[in-house]
Amino acid sequence: MSSHSESIIREPLITGENITYGQITDDVLRPVENMPGKAWWIGFSVASLGALLWVVAISYTFWFGIGAWGLNKTVGWAWDITGFVWWVGIGHAGTLISAVLLLFRQNWRNSINRSAEAMTIFAVICAATYIGAHMGRPWMAVYSLPLPNQYGSLWVNWNSPLIWDVFAISTYFSVSLVFWYTGLLPDIATIRDRATGLRRRIYSVMSFGWTGSVKTWQRFETVSLILAGISTPLVLSVHTIVSMDFATSLEPGWHTTIFPPYFVAGAIFSGFAMVQTLLLVARKVLGLENYITMFHIESMNKIILLTGSIVGVAYLTELFIAFYSQAEYEQYAFMNRISGPYWWAYWSMMTCNVITPQLFWFKKIRTNIPLAWTLSIVVNIGMWFERFVIIVTSLHRDYIPSSWAMFYPTWVDVSIFIGSIGLFFTMFLLFVRVLPSVAMAEVKLILKSSSEQAKRKLLESGHVEPAEAEFYINSLGKFDSVEQSSYEKV
Amino acid sequence: MSSTKYILGIFDDPDDLMHGIDKLQKNSVPIYDVYSPCPIHGIDAKLGIKDSRLGYAAFMFGCLGGTIMFSMVYYMLVHDWPINIGGKNFFAIPDFVPVTFEWTVLWTAFGMTFTFFFATHLFPGRAPRVMDLRATNDKFIIAIDARGNTPNADIDSILKEAGAVEVKHNDRKYVSYE
Residues B55-68 have pLDDT tens digits of 999 999 999 999 99
User: Looking at the structure, do residues A280 and A323 belong to the same domain, yes or no?
Assistant: yes
Give A187→chain B minimum CA distance, Å.
8
A32 touching B, CB under 8 A? no
| Banded model confidence at residue B173, pLDDT cuts 50, 70, 90 | confident
The size of the A-B interface in CB pairs under 8 A is 217
Give A174→chain B minimum CA distance, Å.
8
Out of A3, A205, A445, whose CB is closest to B125?
A205
Question: Worst-scoring range by mean pLDDT, A398-402, A481-485, B66-70?
Answer: A481-485
**Is B102 in contact with A237 (Cβ distance < 8 A)?**
yes
Q: How many domains does chain A have?
A: 2
Residue B75's closest chain A neighbor by CA?
A155
Residue A135 lies in a domain: yes
Give B56→chain A minimum CA distance, Å.
11
Q: Which of A110, A157, A216 to mutate to test the interface with B (most CBs of B within 10 A)?
A: A216
- pLDDT for B1 beyond 70: no
Residue B168 pairs with which residues in a beta bridge?
B8
Q: Which of A117, A230, A442, A450 to mutate to test the interface with B (most CBs of B within 10 A)?
A: A230
Residue A312 lies in a domain: yes
Contacts of A206 in chain B (CB under 8 A): 124
Give A107→chain B minimum CA distance, Å.
14
Candidates A193, A442, A212; CA nearest to B35 is: A212
Which alpha helices (H) appear in A326-406, and where do they start and end?
Answer: 328-339, 343-350, 363-366, 369-388, 394-396
> Could you tell me how far CA A139 lies from the centroid of its own chain?
29
Residue A56 lies in a domain: yes
A202 touching B, CB under 8 A? no
Reported as a single tens digit per residue, the pLDDT across B10-34 is: 999 888 898 889 988 888 888 888 9
Which alpha helices (H) appear in A65-112, and where do they start and end?
Answer: 79-95, 101-103
Q: Phi and psi dihedrals of A210, rounded to 5?
A: -65, 135
User: Looking at the structure, do residues A330 and A446 belong to the same domain, yes or no?
Assistant: yes
User: Looking at the structure, do residues A469 and A373 belong to the same domain, yes or no?
Assistant: no
* Beta pairing class for B33-35 and B6-11: unpaired
Q: Phi and psi dihedrals of B140, rounded to 5?
A: -110, 125
**Is A164 in contact with B102 (Cβ distance < 8 A)?**
yes
Write b or e for each residue in B122-134: b if 16 or more Cβ atoms lie within 10 A of its Cβ, otherwise e. beeebebbbbbbb
| Residue B176 contacts residue B127 (beta carbons within 8 Å) | no
**ipTM surpasses cut 0.85:** yes
A199 touching B, CB under 8 A? no
Contacts of A220 in chain B (CB under 8 A): 39, 116
**Is B49 in contact with A226 (Cβ distance < 8 A)?**
no
Reported as a single tens digit per residue, the pLDDT across A160-216 is: 899 999 999 999 999 999 999 999 999 999 999 998 889 988 999 999 989 999 999
User: Looking at the structure, do residues A338 and A192 belong to the same domain, yes or no?
Assistant: yes
| Banded model confidence at residue B7, pLDDT cuts 50, 70, 90 | confident
Q: What percent of chain B has pLDDT over 90?
A: 35
Candidates B118, B115, B117; CA nearest to B62 is: B115
Domain boundaries, given as residue ranges, for chain B: 6-37+135-170, 54-120
User: Looking at the structure, do residues A392 and A460 belong to the same domain, yes or no?
Assistant: no
Alpha carbon distance, N-terminus to C-terminus of chain A? 25
Contacts of B41 in chain A (CB under 8 A): 1, 3-4
The CATH number assigned to the domain holding A364 equals 1.20.1630.10
Contacts of A213 in chain B (CB under 8 A): 33-35
- Fold of the domain built from segment(s) B6-37+135-170: Alpha-Beta Plaits (3.30.70)
A244 touching B, CB under 8 A? yes
**Is B105 in contact with A234 (Cβ distance < 8 A)?**
yes
Tell me which range, A8-12, A200-204, A381-385, is most confidently predicted by mean pLDDT.
Answer: A381-385
Q: How far apart are CA B128 and CA B99, in angstroms?
A: 39
Handedness of CA A224, A166, A311, A83 (dihedral sign): negative
**What average pLDDT score do residues A427-441 get?**
93
Residue A5 lies in a domain: no
User: Looking at the structure, do residues A311 and A191 belong to the same domain, yes or no?
Assistant: yes
**Is A219 in contact with B54 (Cβ distance < 8 A)?**
yes
User: Looking at the structure, do residues A126 and A167 belong to the same domain, yes or no?
Assistant: yes
User: Looking at the structure, do residues A350 and A466 belong to the same domain, yes or no?
Assistant: no
Centre a 10 Å sphere on the Cβ of residue A189 and count the other Cβ atoms it contains. 26
A20 touching B, CB under 8 A? yes
- pLDDT for A298 beyond 80: yes
| Banded model confidence at residue A479, pLDDT cuts 50, 70, 90 | low
What pLDDT, on the 0 to 100 scale, is given for residue A480? Answer: 61
Out of A158, A221, A233, whose CB is closest to B76?
A158
User: Looking at the structure, do residues A432 and A483 belong to the same domain, yes or no?
Assistant: no
Centre a 10 Å sphere on the Cβ of residue B56 and count the other Cβ atoms it contains. 11
Residue A428: domain span: 23-146+156-450
What pLDDT, on the 0 to 100 scale, is given for residue A482? Answer: 52
- pLDDT for A490 beyond 50: no
Q: State chain A's mean pLDDT as an integer.
A: 89
Give A109→chain B minimum CA distance, Å.
16
User: Looking at the structure, do residues A180 and A208 belong to the same domain, yes or no?
Assistant: yes
Contacts of A204 in chain B (CB under 8 A): 125, 127-128, 177
- pLDDT for B145 beyond 90: no
User: Looking at the structure, do residues A392 and A408 belong to the same domain, yes or no?
Assistant: yes
Q: How far apart are CA B90 and CA A159, in angstroms?
A: 10
Centre a 10 Å sphere on the Cβ of residue B12 and count the other Cβ atoms it contains. 17
Residue A1 lies in a domain: no
The edge-to-edge listing of strands for the beta sheet with B166-170 is B33-35, B140-145, B6-11, B166-170
User: Looking at the structure, do residues A44 and A123 belong to the same domain, yes or no?
Assistant: yes
Q: Phi and psi dihedrals of A207, rounded to 5?
A: -85, -5
**What average pLDDT score do residues B102-119 get?**
95
